[in-house]
Amino acid sequence: MILSVFGLLGSVVLGLSAIAVIRTLALRKTPGKPGPSQDPPVIADEIVQEAALHLAQAVALRTIAHERMDETDSAPFHVLHALLRKFYPRMHGRLEIIDAGPRNLLFRWKGADESLLPALLAAHQDVVPASDADQWTFPPFSSTIESGYVWGRGSFDAKGQLIAICEAVEQLLAAGFSPERTWYIAFGCDEEIRGSAGAARMASLFTAMGIRFSFVLDEGGVVAQRFLSALDRPIAVVGIAEKGDVQLTLSCTKAGGHSSSPENPTALALIGKAAWRIESRHTVVRLTVPVRHMIRTLGVHAPFPLALVLLNLWLTKPIVMRIFSKNPAMNALIRSTCTVTMAKGSEAPNVVPTVATATVNVRILPGVSAEQMVARIGRRIADKRIVVKIEEDSRRSVASPIDSAPFAHICRAIATIFPSSIPTPYLMTGGTDALWYEQLSDCVYRFTPAMMDSGELKRMHNRDERFAIANMEKAMQFYMALIMTDRSA
């Protein structure tokens, strides 16, 4: 009897393994290559070096967007606009400049074929502050070029991209190129504070003009090196959707008084306990469409044992989810994450607060509502003295298709400039201006044409942000290839 049970179990395991192997082999037969790539555009070295100088001068400008708009200084934005006019005379002479409100920059490059829907390239001018300036290797707002990098706040996010787009257009115009399709180029002024004066305003303008886009390409995923240790090729991750951004407030009200005769625990201690409960365990796993696409694409290109695991989620999902959970960047792809970022008690060291509060920043997966998160967090805290309130909620992103002509076109440009990389759809874990443009196109993609490893990734919104001059060349080539080879998207 025992033998027959083991025999049965053995047969089941063997049967499942055989199905997994057959399925893996079948899926790997059709890897969905982006198609024949062309030779990358050739850019003279002195042009690339000059582009790096342009970027360094743009980085020196403190185009910081503040939460309170009246605190934002417009002057550095206007100096940036003047610099761009000086650096890119053809672009400013030949393209139409559309008034899109203070600090925004919007260009229209008219194409020959008006029957084609226009496309939109986007980047942002604003940067986050650098409050730890004294700890940077080079001052964050200096024009430092050193060791093959342009250093400073905003060099990667996203002035490198902005300058690369302008350089590409200028080079194409210098070569006498004129596009088939009309291209719009939008540089928002406040992406880092959710884009309401920048991308949102320009999106409204496009709506009022009755414009729909064939596709939109904004900042986003990079060509990530050493993403998975078992994968020896870089992966070029193209965001086809992004996570939402929800601010919650936890509050607790309790008798205050003098700290010499406290009634413990205080409201702030209860907030602390609630905060710890929120962060001490992962939220539930949810495999969204972009992440399913990503796992499948990686599986098609991975070495066989890893491919077997990635291409058979029906059997291996717990293993794959465990791998993802171990790395914070990958964990953020499969879960809504909750992070306690601010807390407040009383105004003095010897005063017990009557009200204590904490802010929880939730990066929420597409398809999950803020109310669902509040209910989950409430169950996790399990303390009726803590009130959870939604302060802000972003709109939810809708995944763009990966079987569209624009996605194939972007992947072809990636294959041209980064031939060893695997173009891969994915879910952006951070927010971008692209969210505002989703209302204008079914095909909204997020990709920054630059190589980056995890060490470089840590510099984003952090000290010693930098942009490699080698990346400047790649980014310029990418945008040139994208515009030049655009036919059917």
Select the span of 77-85, 174-182, 217-225, 251-259 touching Zn ion (CB under 5 A). 217-225
Select the span of 205-213, 219-227, 297-305, 448-456 touching Zn ion (CB under 5 A). 219-227
Q: What DSSP assignment string belongs to 437-482?
A: HGGG-S-EEEEEEEEE-HHHHTTTTSTT-EEEHHHHHHHHHHHHHH
User: Which residues are marked as active site?
Assistant: 126, 191
CB of 52 to Zn ion, least distance (A): 19
> Which C-beta is closer to Zn ion: that of 219 or that of 486?
219
CB of 244 to Zn ion, least distance (A): 16
Q: Does 438 bind Zn ion (CB under 5 A)?
A: no
Q: What DSSP assignment string belongs to 113-134?
A: -TTSPPEEEEEE--B---TTGG
Q: Which residues, 6 or more positions from 75, have their beta carbon under 8 angstroms from its beta carbon?
A: none
Rounded to a whole number of angstroms, the distance between the first and last alpha carbons of the chain is 63
Site for Zn ion in 143-182 (CB under 5 A): 157-158
Q: Are strands 466-468 and 149-151 parallel, antiparallel or unpaired?
A: antiparallel
CB of 158 to Zn ion, least distance (A): 4
Q: In sequence order, what are the beta bridge partners of 122?
A: 186
Q: Cis omega before residue 20 (within 30°)? A: no
Select the span of 59-67, 215-223, 242-250, 421-429 touching Zn ion (CB under 5 A). 215-223
Contact 202, 427 (CB under 8 A): no
> Which C-beta is closer to Zn ion: that of 167 or that of 465?
465
Number of residues in the chain: 489
CB of 63 to Zn ion, least distance (A): 12
> How far, in whole angstroms, is CA 186 from its chain's centroid?
17
Contact 284, 379 (CB under 8 A): no
Contact 122, 219 (CB under 8 A): yes
CB of 191 to Zn ion, least distance (A): 5
> Which C-beta is closer to Zn ion: that of 124 or that of 396?
124
> Which C-beta is closer to Zn ion: that of 438 or that of 486?
438
Q: What are phi and psi of 94, to 5 degrees?
A: -95, -30
Q: Does 435 bind Zn ion (CB under 5 A)?
A: no
d(CA 369, CA 390): 11
Which residue type is seen at 64?
A: I
The three-class DSSP label of residue 142 is coil
Q: What are phi and psi of 230, to 5 degrees?
A: -80, -5
Select the span of 76-84, 212-220, 327-335, 383-391 touching Zn ion (CB under 5 A). 212-220
Select the span of 61-69, 97-105, 216-224, 452-460 touching Zn ion (CB under 5 A). 216-224
CB of 387 to Zn ion, least distance (A): 34
Q: In sequence order, what are the beta bridge partners of 127?
A: 64
CB of 307 to Zn ion, least distance (A): 33
> Which C-beta is closer to Zn ion: that of 219 or that of 438?
219
> How far, in whole angstroms, is CA 363 from its chain's centroid?
12
> Which C-beta is closer to Zn ion: that of 158 or that of 300?
158
The three-class DSSP label of residue 65 is coil
Q: Cis omega before residue 158 (within 30°)? A: yes
CB of 218 to Zn ion, least distance (A): 9
d(CA 122, CA 216): 8
Q: Does 450 bind Zn ion (CB under 5 A)?
A: no
> Which C-beta is closer to Zn ion: that of 80 or that of 250?
80
Buried b (16+ CB within 10 A) or exposed e, 204-224: ebbeeeebebbbbbbbbbbbb
Q: Does 59 bind Zn ion (CB under 5 A)?
A: no
Q: Does 473 bind Zn ion (CB under 5 A)?
A: no
d(CA 330, CA 312): 19
CB of 154 to Zn ion, least distance (A): 9
Contact 193, 65 (CB under 8 A): yes
Q: Does 218 bind Zn ion (CB under 5 A)?
A: no
> Which C-beta is closer to Zn ion: that of 166 or that of 377?
166
> Which C-beta is closer to Zn ion: that of 158 or that of 364?
158
DSSP annotation of 419: T
> How far, in whole angstroms, is CA 284 from its chain's centroid?
22
Residues in contact with Zn ion, total (CB under 5 A)? 3
Q: In what order do the strands lie in the sheet with 149-151?
A: 145-146, 149-151, 466-468
**Residues forming the site for Zn ion (CB under 5 A):** 157-158, 219
